Amino acid sequence: MATHYTKHDITVEAAADTVFELVADVAGWPQVFGPTVHVELLSDDGTEQLLRIWALANGEVRDWTSRRTLDRAAGVVAFQQVVSSPPVASMGGRWTVEPLGREHRSSVTLTHEFEAIADDTDAVAFIQQAVDRNSNAELAALKSAAELQAGPDELRFTFSDGLSVRGTVSDVFEFINRADLWPQRLPHVSRLDLDERVPGVQRMVMDTRSPDGSIHTTESVRLCFPERGVIVYKQLQVPPVMSAHTGRWELREAPDGLVEARSWHTVVLNPAGVREALGAQTSIEEARQKVRHALGTNSLTTLRHAKQHVESPLE
């Protein structure tokens, strides 16, 4: 099979160490890189990582397992797919982060080498297009994240809300998984279009009604793991106040026939969007409180209705 090579690069107005850590922190990739939906770190000894990635490629959700080697001294992260997703036969490459002249300036180079199954011409074109689109998007997102000097600890935050349900994990999971029924089951959802061509991979467009009566449309990708009682998701289109929003529904068996149901959110605020949408005088802390209240209210409403549905199915 023929091997194909690509190279993409960008200059970042940030220290090389800052940029490298964003590349190394795969758990945070869904909040940094637009195409990345979810990452699970299977093993990590500080130098060698084994991870499973779900990401959008030409609009489709693909998943693969990769092994990465981190060399912080050289600023290099090398990767090789262990289990690829068709039509990819093999895929590898490296991130290289190098300091430039000034203390807070660096260059990032992202290279790929890949083979297509059976050297199929259409497959090569598909992979090339996906690699080009994702590489450019990832480098632009990396630059934006590294150059945000307001501080990731201030802009990025995670929170959760939960309650107990008397029932089984599978019953609660069914309520959350069947999002196509939410317009009939949840008062704040007025419309929801669900596409699940691949079992466990859902694309959904949802209209939610705010307390003031306004309608907000969101589009998300969800990955459903019924055997674990977990659904993870990424919002593909976010309001101006955010630059990223990911979430997780987590269901766990608890004592006395109860299920601990919890909703998690991770949000990265967009300072410019905060000023535009909420006013120039709005602080980041005030924006955090508003976003936390809005998302938490909707999540708790969903969990309360799930509880009522499971505990009183005939009512």
d(CA 54, CA 30): 9
Measured in degrees and rounded to the nearest 5, phi and psi for residue 99 equal -70, 145
Strands (E) across 84-214 are located at 88-99, 106-116, 156-166, 189-198, 201-209
pTM: 0.89
Q: What was the pLDDT predicted at 153?
A: 56
- What does the block give as tokens for 272? 């410019």
Measured in degrees and rounded to the nearest 5, phi and psi for residue 121 equal -60, -45
Q: What was the pLDDT predicted at 58?
A: 83
Quick check: 91 pLDDT over 70? Answer: yes
d(CA 29, CA 119): 31
Q: Which of 8, 30, 25, 173 is CA-nearest to residue 96?
A: 8
Q: What is the pLDDT confidence band of residue 150, given thresholds at 50, 70 and 90?
A: very low
Strand order in the sheet with 36-44: 4-12, 106-116, 88-99, 76-83, 60-71, 48-57, 36-44
CA 38, 43, 49, 51 dihedral sign is negative
Q: Give the model confidence (pLDDT) of 226-273 as tens digits.
A: 999 999 999 998 889 999 999 999 999 999 999 999 999 999 999 899
E strand or H helix at 125: helix 121-147
- What does the block give as tokens for 183? 């317009």
E strand or H helix at 275: helix 271-278
Q: Give the model confidence (pLDDT) of 172-219 as tens digits.
A: 999 999 999 999 999 989 999 999 999 999 999 999 887 677 788 999
d(CA 9, CA 108): 5
Cis ω on the peptide bond leading into residue 240 (within 30° of 0)?
A: no
Mean pLDDT, residues 21-41 taken together? 93
- What does the block give as tokens for 165? 């349900």
Domains in the chain, start-ordered, CATH in brackets?
A: 4-147 (3.30.530.20), 152-311 (3.30.530.20)
3-state class (DSSP) for residue 218: strand
d(CA 174, CA 309): 10
Question: How many angstroms from the chain centroid is the CA of residue 125?
Answer: 26
d(CA 308, CA 90): 48
For the chain, percent helix, then strand, then coil, each to nearest 5? 30, 45, 20
DSSP state of 314: T
Q: Are 91 and 110 in contact (CB under 8 A)?
A: no
- What does the block give as tokens for 27? 């758990």
Mean pLDDT, residues 275-302 taken together? 93
> Cα angle vertex 110, ends 104, 116, to 5°?
170
Portion of the chain with pLDDT greater than 70, in percent: 97
